[in-house]
Amino acid sequence: MPFLELSLACTEAQQPRYERALEDVGALAVTLVDAHADAPDEQAIFEPGVGEQPLWHEMVLTALFEAGTPREPLLQALSAADEALDWSRAEFRDVEDQDWERAWMDQYEPLHFGARTWIVPWNHELPDGADAPDAAVVRLDPGLAFGSGTHPTTALCLQWLDTLATAGVLEGATVLDFGCGSGILALAALKLGAAAAIGVDNDPQAVIATLDNAQRNGVDDRLQVFLPQDEPVATYPVVVANILASALIGLRETIAARCAPGAQLAMSGILAGQEDDVIAAYADVLEDIDVACMDGWMRVCGRRR
């Protein structure tokens, strides 16, 4: 059936009150989108840092109501639900019914990284090349959590893992994916030859999504996922952390402690211009530091001293 859509911009502080008022007057669904999703800004990143809330400072809130809902009475009801909120900026449009999840998922196409790594949506046929005997194919449901391979930070990390696999570094290794999101990096490492992987994320939904994707890829017996407070104390020969630059710097002691001597470490989620601060924070931890850039995003990698 068709729907009436209401949308308006709000701040992170206002969002809970707006959402509560919309639900109180009968909204069928309420969703949030970053107000600056098209800008190269830290608030536009889709994988929040470990310990950070997955919300943006400014966002667009969208609510669906039954088709034919009178607009003016709806605004009056919303004003009565929370008189302190400004509903005058609300915009309306009529939207036709469709399979929303399928329409969104159909935007995603198979992606190729490095020599062997492929990210293929679960509902998509294998493309040419992904059916090669040595192809490392990750079947992913990008709808479950942040991380589908389309963002430059994720792409940079996938390319790095593919390079490690070519050099034989991943073979038989245990890999830590710190801030795992959908689990895409841990899954790729396993497909590329790692013996086991550990995922850590502060979002319980990410834990669920990673486990679901691990089952989808037949590697759930080799992948464990933890919330930060449940993470076992251990060191690893390969560590990847795709989180914000501020989190990488703030969690420097935590991340360094996860790296075994000689371990390979890659860090991304770093905007161009922030890499020097990250390098400075890890200068006494890493050697053979290398920096890569893609579309205004950086990857810093090196070997644990």
Q: Is 179 labelled as part of a ligand binding site?
A: yes
pLDDT of residue 151: 77
Say how many CA atoms lie within 13 Å of 215 toward its Cβ: 5
Indicate the pairing of strand 29-34 with strand 58-66.
antiparallel
Beta bridge partners of 63: 6, 30
Say how many CA atoms lie within 13 Å of 251 toward its Cβ: 20
pLDDT of residue 58: 79
Rounded to whole angstroms, the Cα distance separating 52 from 291 reads 25
Q: List pLDDT tens digits, range 49-65.
A: 444 444 467 788 888 88
Tokens of 83: 């008189």
Selection from 120, 266, 147 nearest residue 206 by Cα: 147
Task: Give ranges for CATH 3.40.50.150 in the chain.
Answer: 148-304
Beta bridge partners of 94: 4
Q: Is 201 labelled as part of a ligand binding site?
A: yes
CATH topology of domain 148-304: Rossmann fold (3.40.50)
For 1, 122, 152, 158, the CA distances from 119, given in Å and listed in that order, are 34, 9, 14, 10
> Is the model's pTM score more than 0.75?
no
Selection from 216, 226, 217 nearest residue 194 by Cα: 217
Cβ atoms 124, 149 nearer than 8 A: no
Kind and range of the H or E run holding 298: strand 297-304
pLDDT along the chain (305 residues), means of 10: 86 87 87 59 38 59 88 94 92 74 58 92 84 92 54 91 97 96 94 97 86 93 96 96 91 97 95 94 97 93 97
Q: Which amino acid is at 268?
A: S
pLDDT of residue 22: 92
pLDDT of residue 32: 72
pLDDT of residue 122: 76
Q: Position of tokens 């996922």?
A: 225
pLDDT of residue 16: 86
Q: Which amino acid is at 201?
A: D
Rounded to whole angstroms, the Cα distance separating 207 from 211 reads 6
- Give the helix, strand, coil percentages of the chain, each rounded to 5: 30, 30, 40
pLDDT of residue 209: 84
Beta bridge partners of 31: 62
Task: Give ranges for CATH 3.30.70.120 in the chain.
Answer: 3-97
pLDDT of residue 30: 80
pLDDT of residue 50: 41
Q: What is the sign of the dihedral through the CA atoms of 142, 94, 44 and 206?
A: negative
Q: Is 242 labelled as part of a ligand binding site?
A: yes
Q: 3-97 in CATH: which number?
A: 3.30.70.120
Beta bridge partners of 268: 242
Q: 3-state class of 75 per DSSP?
A: helix
Selection from 1, 79, 4, 44 nearest residue 297 by Cα: 44
